[in-house]
Structure 1
Amino acid sequence: MFGSRWDSILVDNLATTTGVRVICVDRPGMGGSTPVPSFIRIAVWLETVPALLKALNVKHVSLASHSAGTIYALNTIYHLRDILDPQRPYLAMVAPYVHHSHSQAMLMKVVSKIPVSVMGAWAPLAKFVSTRITPTASWSGGIVSSTATLFQGQPGTSETGKLTFGEKYGVSEEIGKCIDKLHDKWMFAESNSAGNDEALLCIKKPGTEWGVCDDYEEYVLLLVEREKQRLSARDDSAKLKIDVFFAESDLMIGTGGQRYFVQCWKQDGVVDTIDFRSRVLPGTDHDTAVMDLGIGAMKTVFEHIRGPAQ
């Protein structure tokens, strides 16, 4: 269940100021993990996370998600709230996914018209595009890259922002270039069938389940009520902090999806119960908002989780 592309990140809050321990949780059906059909993906996720943390002897984490991982993250903080640190409960959502019925994003409206029978061919298509077409054409942030990212994952194939390859991966420049060159090859070396099921989940094909966050507006109100009860019942609880980082240009949700998502969190009662903040990351697209350490969100996320230096 571990892989190079993740739906959510669980970060061990027990880490010291010298760093954080990161648990990257990939989609079921990626690599050597067991395939999970779209209609039970959320349920299996909610069973898997506590079992994984127990096996690793990790009690509390912070949570981060990217794109479709939003669906998993929102279900996690609602159903598995106790895995967050009572003193510093934190969720970061980067380029959060919004259904096209609210975002009106043309890309996802087109994808939603694809017959279910054709979806089975999506993962091989994403592999072909990512390994044969995209590296040659360098369509960074384009429709092919963004579509592949949602359903399979498409890392950048060239230097991003102001980072060198060495800085991007935290190694020497020579090794960094090798990593970047081989990234796609090894990412697609094993199964990527999860892309098919994730596509069905994201566009809400009949039979798929988004769990408690099927409607974002209703979900926020449910979460607020639960957080109110928690704050009144437990003296050691702090307000849940949620940071949202939008890409400046995001073909998945567009500006309409951004507006809708923020409005969901501006409903009555939210500000008194949940510390919600959102920002747009200049110069980013759906991929670089999380993958680019220079202009993306992850440096800020990890600095918040680590806390102030002692």
Structure 2
Amino acid sequence: MFGSRYFGTDYNKLAISSKIRFICVDRPGFGGSSIVPIEDRVNTWLETVPQLLKHLNVNYVSLISHSAGTIYLLNTLYHLRHILDPKRPYVALLAPWVSQEHSGVTMLSLASKLPDVAFSGWSGLVGFINKTLVPAGSWSGGIISSSASLFQSSPSNAEVTSEETAQAKWGTDAATVAAIDGLQAKYCWAEGMSGANDEARLCLGGGKGLWGVCEDYSEYVRKFCAEERRRSDADRLLELHVVFATSDIMIGTGGKAYFEDVWGQDCVAGCVDVKMVQAPETNHETVLNFEKGLMHKIFKDIGGNAAQYVEC
């Protein structure tokens, strides 16, 4: 997620009440992480995660991703499968990213044809949009969707947080929540965010050798299931939960159908326990919304597990 280290604080109270340790990792070019060549982004992530978990003395985790994080989660799941709890391996993908080749989203198909130089100032553009045009409280962190959501019907307008919601979400009063919302955006954009330029290119660059083992989702699922069946240390089937938005401008209905199809292949049965749901009245961004999204259920699922939680 775009700036997730700060916006992850939205779920701090929920994580504590669910007895989960919530770990958000800055990807290359975000926050305190160094910039790397775009072709090294996924591999750098795969090198970072085990070192970070070792530093934190964490043995097992559950994985959750949103949007662009799908690419990183799928690579982590394939290459670092051992970091999931063998007693209850669990991953969740919210508003999963799908290549425009399969989603057929016109806006992204056109964007993918732009030269790389067109994205050199992307982080600045998105920063301007999120600091100036989009209320901080409604911005969840989608790389491209931050600006695309401006053109959606019924855009997510940040409502004034009620005292009841403030207590439920943060355990504090509404005035404090308003201050936190403002500081989230301020601190996020005060740090390095130039990684957004390459992250946008990465999202649009499927099939160009940038997505690691998941260049082709269909092939990925077949390869992963083949590896999963060879495992001898898993006591339970991997649980893979997918949460789609009701209306997702980034993948459209075509992308949703494609993602359902790839995880509905024959090889999945008896290998991965796949559950797919649609969060009512949500879009690509608000699928993470505290009230409308399904994070409560996901946290509850993870809370029943001994593993901790890494966000991709």
- What is the TM-score of this pair, normalised by structure 1? 0.84
Q: Could you say what secondary structure the match of 1:31 adopts?
A: coil
Q: Distance in 2 between matches of 1:207 and 1:266?
A: 25
Q: Could you say what secondary structure the match of 2:5 adopts?
A: coil
Q: Distance in 2 between matches of 1:145 and 1:43?
A: 22
Instruction: Give the superposition deviation at 1:2.
Output: 7.6
Q: Distance in 2 between matches of 1:208 and 1:148?
A: 26
Cα deviation 1:160-204 (Å, max 9, x = unaligned): 899734534342212011112333222211111010010111111
1:296 matches 2:285: no
Q: Distance in 1 between matches of 2:157 and 2:69?
A: 22
The residue number in structure 1 matching 2:284 is 286
Work out the percentage of aligned pairs sharing the same amino acid.
42
The residue number in structure 2 matching 1:3 is 5
Q: Could you say what secondary structure the match of 2:28 adopts?
A: coil
Q: Could you say what secondary structure the match of 1:247 adopts?
A: strand
The answer to whether the 8 A contact 1:31-1:191 is kept is yes
Q: Could you say what secondary structure the match of 1:259 adopts?
A: helix
The answer to whether the 8 A contact 1:166-1:174 is kept is no
Which runs of structure 2 are paired with 1:146-165 in the superposition (5 Å)? 146-148=145-147, 158-159=158-159, 164-165=165-166
Task: Using the TM superposition, name which of 83-92 and 15-24 deviates more.
Answer: 15-24
Instruction: Give the superposition deviation at 1:106.
Output: 2.2
Q: Distance in 1 between matches of 2:275 and 2:196?
A: 30
Counterpart AA for 2:69 = G
Task: Using the TM superposition, name which of 86-95 and 105-114 deviates more.
Answer: 105-114
The residue number in structure 2 matching 1:254 is 252
With over 3 angstroms needed to count, the CA separation of the structure-2 counterparts of 1:40 and 1:145, relative to structure 1, is closer
Counterpart AA for 2:246 = E
Task: Using the TM superposition, name which of 167-176 and 217-226 deviates more.
Answer: 167-176
Q: Distance in 2 between matches of 1:52 and 1:219?
A: 26
Q: Distance in 2 between matches of 1:161 and 1:246?
A: 25
Q: Distance in 2 between matches of 1:60 and 1:201?
A: 28
The residue number in structure 2 matching 1:269 is 267
The residue number in structure 2 matching 1:153 is none
Ranges in structure 1 where 5+ consecutive residues have no aligned partner = 10-14, 151-155
Cα deviation 1:184-237 (Å, max 9, x = unaligned): 22221111101001011111178651111110000000011111111xx33x52
Q: Distance in 2 between matches of 1:80 and 1:225?
A: 15
With over 3 angstroms needed to count, the CA separation of the structure-2 counterparts of 1:148 and 1:187, relative to structure 1, is farther
Task: Using the TM superposition, name which of 107-116 and 257-266 deviates more.
Answer: 107-116
Q: Distance in 2 between matches of 1:74 and 1:158?
A: 32
The residue number in structure 2 matching 1:34 is 34
- What is the TM-score of this pair, normalised by structure 2? 0.84
1:307 matches 2:304: yes
The residue number in structure 1 matching 2:124 is 124
Counterpart AA for 2:145 = S
Counterpart AA for 1:114 = L
Which runs of structure 2 are paired with 1:1-310 in the superposition (5 Å)? 3-5=5-7, 19-135=19-135, 146-148=145-147, 158-159=158-159, 164-204=165-205, 208-230=209-231, 233-234=232-233, 236-290=234-288, 292-307=289-304
With over 3 angstroms needed to count, the CA separation of the structure-2 counterparts of 1:180 and 1:256, relative to structure 1, is same
Q: Distance in 2 between matches of 1:96 and 1:193?
A: 23
Counterpart AA for 2:282 = T
Q: Could you say what secondary structure the match of 1:261 adopts?
A: helix
The answer to whether the 8 A contact 1:108-1:203 is kept is yes
The answer to whether the 8 A contact 1:168-1:176 is kept is no
Q: Distance in 2 between matches of 1:5 and 1:188?
A: 12
Q: Distance in 2 between matches of 1:40 and 1:300?
A: 34
Q: Distance in 2 between matches of 1:16 and 1:32?
A: 25
The answer to whether the 8 A contact 2:27-2:45 is kept is no
Q: Distance in 1 between matches of 2:86 and 2:57?
A: 17
Q: Distance in 2 between matches of 1:70 and 1:144?
A: 12
Q: Distance in 1 between matches of 2:56 and 2:143?
A: 37
The answer to whether the 8 A contact 2:245-2:278 is kept is yes
Ranges in structure 2 where 5+ consecutive residues have no aligned partner = 150-155, 306-312
How many residues are aligned here? Answer: 290
Instruction: Give the superposition deviation at 1:110.
Output: 2.9
The answer to whether the 8 A contact 1:40-1:208 is kept is no
